[in-house]
Amino acid sequence: MPSILNSAAGLSRRSLCNAARHLAPVMAALLLLALAGAADSVYLGLSPLWPVEGQSLSASLVTFRFQVEHNTSVALCNLSLDDQPLSGALAINSSETVNYTAYVPPGQHSWQARCAAAPVENSTGHVNFTMLDVLPPSVSAVAPANGTVSAQGLVSFLVNASDDAALANCTLFSDDVPVTSVLTPGVGVIALNASLDEGWHSWRVGCADTGGNANTTSLRSLGIDLTAPFVAFSEPVPWLNTTVESVTFNISAIDASGMQCALSMDGSQAFAFSLPLSGWYRTPALVSAGNHTFQANCTDQAGRSSLSPQGKITRLAMTQDDLLLQLGTDKPAYQPGEPLDILVNATSGGKVNLLITRDGQLYYNYTYTAGPSVSPPGVFLSTSGTYTLSGTLTFLELQRNSAAVFTVGSALACSINGSQQPRLGVSEPYSGSAINAAGGVSYSWDFNGDTITDALGQSASYAFLSAGVPVTLRVQDTSGQATCQLQVQPQAWHALQFIVFDNATSLLLPGALAETGNHSALADTAGIAAILLPGGQHFVLVSKDGYDPYFGTIELSGNLSLTIRLSPKILDGQPPVVTAISPVHGGILGGDLSLTFGVQDASTVRCTLFFSPYAGWWAAERDDIVLPPAEGTARFTHVLSSQNLTQGTYYWKVACEDSAGHAAESGDLSFTYASGGITEVGASLRGTERILVAMERIEAAIEGARRLSPDEGEVASILGVAAGLDSQKTELIRIRNEYRNTLDPLVIVESEADLQRFDSQFAPSIEAIEKETLVSASILQRDEFVKYELSESVRETLQSYLAFRGSGEGDIVRITEALGELQSDVTITTTAYRVETAFLSGELRNITLLRRRLSFGNASTLSRASIFLEHIPKSLAASASELAFVGNYQVLEDDPLIRLYPTEDGELIYYFKKEVPLERVRDISAVVLEDALLDAASGSSRLPTGFAIASLVPGGGGLAFLAVLVIVGGASVFVVASGFSPGRRASSSRPRILPQALTEALQRRGVTKKVLSQVDELLGEAEHAVRARNHQRAKELYRELSALYPSVPAVHQDELRGVMTDICSGINGAWAEGLISEAYRGLALGDAAKAREAYRQVSRVYVALGGETKAKMHAQSKELFDRLLTLDAEQAIRSIREAVQRGDRAAAARSYRKLQALYRKLPPRQRLAMAGRVAPFLDVLRKL
């Protein structure tokens, strides 16, 4: 019998009940029929299968299952849920399992099946089960709509929610953060109210049922806009003045929502545009000439509006051509240092930038706003040249440029060219020259001294009728005027006639050339030559090819006729034989000297005698020596006065040439001059002259040092030859200046009293400088011994000491390994030089020079080697005359110490010199470390001989170890080490004056940590003040260090004094630089007295300088000294000219002697210039 399945999955409870009522009559009829046919033994079995008692189900559709067993034709069954019919009548034809599916809501339920097979009925009984709630609620958003902008912060959020069971709660989320909730809200439309901040938010509503199932609405956005937009213009500026037609408007607006905006010009809308929450709108607009207003308005989505501040535009109808910029100066040419006024005519209100340049270099830069009564400041220019004044006028967006040119030069001057001895009554031409003229030069002449102009133009002629007066020329240019004069002495000129004969034939000799000064004439066919000359003494030369020339001097006071006989040249095929007669080469002489030589030749010989105090540098002493032909030897003697000689070596030689052009020399000769000393009157040079000679000798010594061979040059550099000579030369300049400052600056005094004063004050200094000035050095001997082997006792000694200090095993291992590596990589090479030296005084000495070179085989080892120490025994170092350290290293007389740092080439090198035999130098071997370090290490006050190398090794616990390796006697080794905490100034480039490892031992001697720390801090601050050029602060710190100096242990006072000396040198160097600048300002302003006073102070400061500062000041002060000398020489020339014009012979002679003294001091270029300027006065001076 087929089974019956009645599925009611899609039916509701009400539909199921209706079906049961319709089927009830049918089921009753069937039941009666069954009972009628089965009166006997009817069986009806019924058992529940699903769900079982107490079961929990999660599916909403439940399939009820029960088993029916009967022996009748048909059984009728029905199914009930919670005692309510669930199914209609089910006809079961045979025994089978019945399945019936129906929707069951969540909750507690019971079910049963009842069946009838007449006359029997049966039931499953009530079966209890639970339906779980697994379906989420249905939730959908109603309001506000997505993207809504609210003008209020309080918003009502509406959702539609339902659930199969019951809703437990609904929650509003804003920006994923819960805001408010509603409990047991029921179903349908639910409202949740919340206040939100201004801005854009995301929102959703989530609901949960009582079964724990939840659902949420889709995410929506909501804008809260509580304020009106912010509207502003980033351009143009609120009050714009412009010359441009197209103006760019840049509108910025900020709001919580989007905005609709508009730009208005003069009250009318010009542009409309949209902006997001924050944005800008940029657009150009054409603006007509005149005044305009502009404003922007924005309305946000909440309906609020804002206006920007109103701006104003004034557009000027201008172009570049409407701008005015005119530049110029108050005159086109200026003297150096003369005030310069800048003239500017510019459009008012515009920015004017002015520049003054010369050859690409900027000298002036000034910007100002043009307006009435506004002008740029003036300027002083001290450098000569052509300058460009350029300017730029900026008016709103327009610019205009302009430029002007002017010159700065030396003072306008003039010169006159023409005869100083014109012929009386004969018109003589004269021409003038303007010097340093700026342009537009005019010339006017006064020939007779009546101040009335006699002629105009650059050239003029004049006939003098009487005794001469100065010819005066006045020149004028755009910068001013200048006057110059030429002293003339009109003279009656006379005819000088030469009648020339051949001396061998007594025939007239046409073609002979007669010369005297600038005048010459050729003899005519009659052998006669005539020259017109002024009266006075003249040197005459008559010559002709093939003849020996005639030389002579004549005195011309009227017309004169001379008969000259020229001798034919003798055939001469051999050069002359030149013999030096006295003094003999290498001789020693005194008193007045006679240099005598002889010449043997077949023709006339011209000779030049050379004499010099320097080897290899020659000056012609006499170049006018003429010796006639002689069968024997023609002699010539030149006398040297003892007043012009000082003690030392001199060199001389003779060079001759005969008439045939053959030349010969005597060879270089020398002699030693021994004088009785400067205190003997007349025995040597006097006064300043002697200082000048010493300076010239020092200059020659410097040149000699520069010509040394490479090896000799190395030795000279080590010994400080060049620096020493420069320093001594500066010292001589200082001595000379002090000597001159005690007298009249421009007068050389030769009195006995002044000489004695000079001898007592300055002669000892000069003699000391001469004694110590090295002029040559040559290496005579080298000796080397290298490599020190080290002992194994290092480890044992170090471990014992560190154990005594309480150090850990790790520290012992680290330091032992570091020192072991240091020992294996160090090679110490000692080179000894025996140097033969010669000094300016003529003294010869031997110096032994020792060089120590430390080579490291490992770069890392080199980086750790921080200090190299070599100590010399106090007994040997006691005498400063025996021991000196060379270079920039400190000399401590009590206990000499050199500190060196690694060089870039991987070596440590230092030198020291001793004026003792080499054997004794080898005995210098004692090494003395500081007592405090030795006390802490071994209790000993002295160690064996050798060297010491210190290495800073990091240790544990924040400590470091200063390990000192002492290499002793080539074999044994002693090592000490101290632990300390690195100081806070450990990064300073300057080493601490006291090793921190010695602090404890020094404290035991009464030196407190406070004093040590204070000294170290003051030193660092003082050095920083010097580098920063804060000289006032440096001086204050120097005074504080001086006060602390007695508190520092004696063994370190010298080292502290050396650092303080460097600080003092830096302060003095800055002072000297300021004095040099002041001196040059004095020169630029023509204030020679101010320049000399500044130079005098520089000379006093110079002795306190050192190192590079001293060398720099030496070069600058030498240049300044040369400038002052030039000023003195120019003053002397002016004095000569004025004295000659006045006819004051005594004054002219004094000024000329003064010029002679200055001439030797001048540099070569200035000498040439001065010689050219004094040349026109020589003839007059000879007569005077």
Both structure tokens of 1028: 């920063």
Q: Which residues are registered as beta bridge partners of 362? A: 357
d(CA 605, CA 661): 9
Q: What is the DSSP string of 899-912?
A: -----TTSEEEEEE
Give the range with max mean pLDDT: 140-149, 682-691, 1050-1059: 140-149
Q: What is the DSSP string of 663-704?
A: EEE---EEEEE----TTSTTSS--HHHHHHHHHHHHHHHHHH
Task: Categorize the per-residue pLDDT at 294 as very low, low, confident or very high, splitting at 50, 70 and 90.
Answer: very high
CB atoms within 10 A of CB 197: 11
Q: Give me the percent of the chain exceeding a pLDDT of 90.
A: 7
This model's pTM is above 0.75: no
User: What's CA 533's distance to the chain center, in Å?
Assistant: 68
* pLDDT grade for 868, boundaries at 50, 70 and 90: very low
Q: What is the C-alpha to C-alpha distance for residues 497 and 529, in angstroms, rounded to an integer?
A: 6
What digits encode the pLDDT tens for the residues 399-424? 999 998 888 877 778 889 888 878 88
Query: What six digits make up the tokens of 1175?
Result: 């040349």
- Token pair of 431, please? 């021409």
Question: Does the pLDDT at position 940 exceed 50?
Answer: no
Average pLDDT over residues 453-480: 84
DSSP state of 310: P
CA distance 85 to 1074: 124
Residue listed under structure tokens 């007295």:
1089
Q: Are strands 593-600 and 577-582 parallel, antiparallel or unpaired?
A: antiparallel
- CA-CA distances (angstroms) from residue 210 to 165, 206, 461? 7, 14, 138
Burial class (CB in 10 A: 0-12, 13-18, 19+), 239: exposed
Instruction: Copy the structure tokens of residue 168.
Output: 């437990």
Listed in sequence order, the residues at least 6 apart from 1007 whose beta carbon sits closer than 8 Å to its beta carbon are: 1047, 1048, 1049
- Categorize the per-residue pLDDT at 958 as very low, low, confident or very high, splitting at 50, 70 and 90: very low
Q: Specify whether the CB–CB gap between 605 and 588 falls below 8 A.
A: no
- Residues near 22 by Cβ (< 8 Å), separated by ≥ 6? 88
Please state, in angstroms and rounded to a whole number, the distance separating the CA atoms of residues 79 and 49.
Answer: 13
Give CA–CA dist 458/487, Å, rounded: 18
Cα–Cα distance, 15 to 662 (Å, whole number): 160
Cα 963 to chain centroid, rounded: 38
What is the phi/psi pair of residue 744, to 5°?
-70, 125
More confident residue, 289 or 859: 289
pLDDT reported for residue 1165:
56
Both tokens of 885, joined, read 């350290």
1162 confidence band (pLDDT: 50, 70, 90): low
Q: In the structure encoding, which two tokens stand for residue 325, read together?
A: 């910029």
Q: Cβ distance 293 to 266 under 8 Å?
A: yes
For β-strands 188-195 and 154-162, DSSP reports them as antiparallel
Largest CA distance in the chain: 210
Structure tokens at 439: 């342009």
Structure tokens at 505: 């034939």
Report the pLDDT value the prediction gives residue 1037, as an integer from 0 to 100. Answer: 72
Residue 1138: its H or E element: helix 1107-1142
- What's the distance, Cα to Cα, between the start and end of the chain in Å? 175
CA quadruple 576, 582, 583, 589: dihedral, nearest 10: -160
Q: 329 has which bridge partners?
A: 342
- Other residues' Cβ atoms within 10 Å of the Cβ of residue 887: 13
Highest mean pLDDT among 183-197, 673-687, 811-825, 1072-1086: 183-197
Pick the residue with more confidence: 791 or 1070?
1070
User: What is the model's pLDDT at position 184?
Assistant: 76
Q: Does the pLDDT value for residue 366 go beyond 70?
A: yes
More reliable by pLDDT, 838 or 415: 415
Omega prior to 144 cis, within 30 of 0: yes
Segment among 430-434, 603-607, 945-949 with least mean pLDDT:
945-949
Residue 73 has what pLDDT?
77
Coil, helix or strand for 135?
A: coil
- Count of Cβ atoms closer than 10 Å to residue 1091 Cβ: 22
Rounded Cα distance between 162 and 155, Å, is 23
In angstroms, the Cα distances linking 110 to 107, 683, 685, 905 are 10, 155, 150, 106
Is 1090 in contact with 1077 (CB distance < 8 Å)?
no
Least confident of 344-348, 659-663, 902-906: 902-906
Element (H, E) at 1128: helix 1107-1142
- Taking alpha carbons only, the member of 792, 816, 902 closest to residue 856 is 902
Average pLDDT of the chain is: 70
Amino acid sitting at position 83: D
d(CA 1031, CA 400): 47
- How many Cβ atoms are within 10 Å of 563's Cβ, its own excluded? 10
Distance between CA atoms of 457 and 314, rounded to whole angstroms? Answer: 62
Residue 1020 CB coordination number (10 Å)? 16
What is the C-alpha separation between 172 and 181, in angstroms, rounded?
6
**The token pair that represents 557 in the structure block:** 């006071």
Q: DSSP letter string over 371-382?
A: -TT-----EE--
Between residues 702 and 205, which one has the greater pLDDT?
Answer: 205
Q: What is the mean pLDDT of residues 758-768?
A: 63
Residue 593: name the closest of 584, 602, 606, 603 by CA.
584
Q: 197 is written with which tokens?
A: 């901040």
> Which pair of tokens denotes residue 545?
């090819």
Helix (H) or strand (E) holding 538: strand 536-543
According to DSSP, the β-strands at 663-665 and 84-85 are unpaired
Per DSSP, the three-state class of 579 is strand
What integer is the mean pLDDT of 989-1012? 42
Q: Which amino acid is at 383?
A: T
The 10s digit of each residue's pLDDT in 1171-1183 is 656 656 665 555 5
Burial class (CB within 10 angstroms; exposed 0-12, middle 13-18, buried 19+) of 1132: buried
Confidence check: pLDDT of 444 > 90: yes
Question: For position 9, what pLDDT does the model report?
Answer: 33
Q: Spell out where 887-934 has E strands.
A: 907-914
Model confidence at 92, pLDDT cuts 50, 70, 90, reads confident
Alpha carbon distance 516, 888 (integer Å): 63
Q: Is residue 1022 within 8 Å of residue 1038, measured between CB atoms?
A: yes
